[in-house]
Structure 1
């Protein structure tokens, strides 16, 4: 039941604690028509990632059944309950995606999983402590809420792009970019039909897995580098008709690649006290399920950082995608930069390098220095759209409202 004004997207993800929150936000957002969900290793192994996605959807079914006969929760005016119940029952009905299983390891780098934070199963050990959450037949990927693809994630991405009008599908990357890079390498011409890639990844100032690298780019630096390099020659001003003509000539087009670095996403912080008060207290199947693995994440964050809450990296990537596709430009700022990703370094694996020399070029009096920079830019420059700020003030309240229909001041 996609809205007439919804935007077709593919979400490439590795659920994952905050990925689960991001997927619930995406699935309950009428602005997104989720054509596909492609799975990749990352926060845990591909087998656990697959089970987590099946579990996530199964909980939606339990939530819907519960709400059909539930009494109004304390947070909702009883006189408004029937109207609110209808909203809650409809909020996961916008998309029925194709689900495709992707790769289980990086292109070249040694495997790195996020199990130190997310737990071995990626959901805070929920499948050990609460094994009933995973359906017994989860490996069959059977559900009325999605369709299992007969193709792997790489081929499904290319299939969706090939069988949709050019420059209509946006890909949202929430995990390592391996599926996307391999799809691009397999058929660059078909992949050129993508409207835009919006990914959570990279660190400009300080990493979260090493001093200089963010997890998604660290997990597969070669994949990140491939997509960054694919932006050479991209121009935001090129019109669609001209790009279609180039496609018809079998050209490979430069990609519109938008990066949300953790420098920006880490500023969205969900307090454990706020979550417990507004979400855990709902005591619905969805809120109980989410509370179990979120509580695990709260404890891990406190153990590592001494903080009482959780940074919402992946949910912000979904919110950003909605804003970008809706031309809601007052919510964020961005700039196009020459970006590189280190994929060979021992200590700098996955490091995001942005060429900042252009910012100072007007101050350079040396004509030879200016000429050298111009040559570098002409020959080697990539053209990545880097998000450098987001209007965070309304994020938590919007997230609570859209996903749980809870009003947060």
Structure 2
């Protein structure tokens, strides 16, 4: 029996690669894709997801979800992904359309129809927070909730925060407190040696078939930003790494579990994932501030990965 995935995404370039990885995995059935406002407008995210499904030759229902964060304005990442999310290369519109049913209903129905499924979250957590608000018992239907989000050592959209959590910190706060069996794939894991470098990009481009070259081309704007910021040629593929871990958890060589809080009020540190790495959250002088976190379960956080295995998994998933 194939594993069942439900994927929530704000489909832009690295999300698109991650979707293709899941769609092409022989032992996975993607039951549904829900889209959320984030990198791009929510309907653009849906159109991008449908385009990837067509590219992969599969038919998967795509549901349109939250058009904006719970209590914040939108802040699209066009500067990083292009105005269409896929680098502005004029990809033809999908022949398919999103489903009429809304994403929140679809998330709930898909989870209860497929108990034990894997929930993979590649964007802001707005849809998941709304679904949990409607049906808190949703947590019992999900065996794994793999989230790309957060940072331990500084962010990518502010000095403190990673984009997905920063855009809707209120939703992240709800989801982290929900009781879902979360596996957090932070920004830190896709940096350093895990960056897809110029040699890796050349390997992707040389793969037979359309998927390797699509991965490189749709990421062209992100690659430019990487070069502008670091002076090096490469791609930090956060969402594909999260999907690779969803597909094969053994890519993570070290996990740790901690109480995690999300900053929701300060504009200076909005969206920061505050991780209790030294187990001091229960200390008397801060107990009140951490009351919600320590009243729940700890979050499982990936700390190190097998970089060679990660890059092999990426290449293999996009090969014919």
| TM-score normalised to structure 1 length | 0.71
In structure 2, the CA distance between the partners of 1:160 and 1:373, relative to structure 1 (3 Å rule), is same
Per the alignment, residue 93 of structure 2 pairs with: 134
Per the alignment, residue 24 of structure 1 pairs with: 20
User: Following the alignment from structure 1 to structure 2, what is the Cα–Cα distance between the partners of residues 312 and 290?
Assistant: 10
Per the alignment, residue 121 of structure 1 pairs with: 84
In structure 2, the CA distance between the partners of 1:295 and 1:102, relative to structure 1 (3 Å rule), is same
Per the alignment, residue 346 of structure 1 pairs with: 267
Paired residue for 1:323, among 221, 240, 248? Answer: 248
1:41 aligns with 2:37: yes
Alpha-carbon distance, 1:105 to partner: 0.5
3-state DSSP class of the match of 1:404? coil
Per the alignment, residue 102 of structure 2 pairs with: 152
Per the alignment, residue 303 of structure 2 pairs with: 388
Per the alignment, residue 180 of structure 1 pairs with: 128
Matches for 1:241-320 after TM superposition, within 5 Å: 254-267=179-192, 268-276=194-202, 278-282=203-207, 284-320=209-245
Runs of at least 5 residues in structure 1 that lack an aligned partner in the other structure: 62-92, 142-147, 231-253, 362-368
3-state DSSP class of the match of 1:334? strand
User: Following the alignment from structure 1 to structure 2, what is the Cα–Cα distance between the partners of residues 375 and 107?
Assistant: 25
User: Following the alignment from structure 1 to structure 2, what is the Cα–Cα distance between the partners of residues 304 and 315?
Assistant: 21
Per the alignment, residue 107 of structure 1 pairs with: 70
1:184-204 CA-partner distances (Å, limit 9, x unpaired): 011112443222211000011
* Bigger Rg, structure 1 or 2: 1
In structure 2, the CA distance between the partners of 1:158 and 1:379, relative to structure 1 (3 Å rule), is closer
1:347-406 CA-partner distances (Å, limit 9, x unpaired): 1110111123427x9xxxxxxx9666788877641421111111112211221122114x
User: Following the alignment from structure 2 to structure 1, what is the Cα–Cα distance between the partners of residues 289 and 228?
Assistant: 45
| TM-score normalised to structure 2 length | 0.90
CA contact (8 A) 1:31 1:322 kept: no
1:200-238 CA-partner distances (Å, limit 9, x unpaired): 0001111010000000001111110101122xxxxxxxx
Alpha-carbon distance, 1:107 to partner: 0.4
* Count of aligned pairs: 317
Dislocated runs of 4+, deviation >3 Å: 281-291, 369-380
RMSD: 2.4
1:221 aligns with 2:169: yes
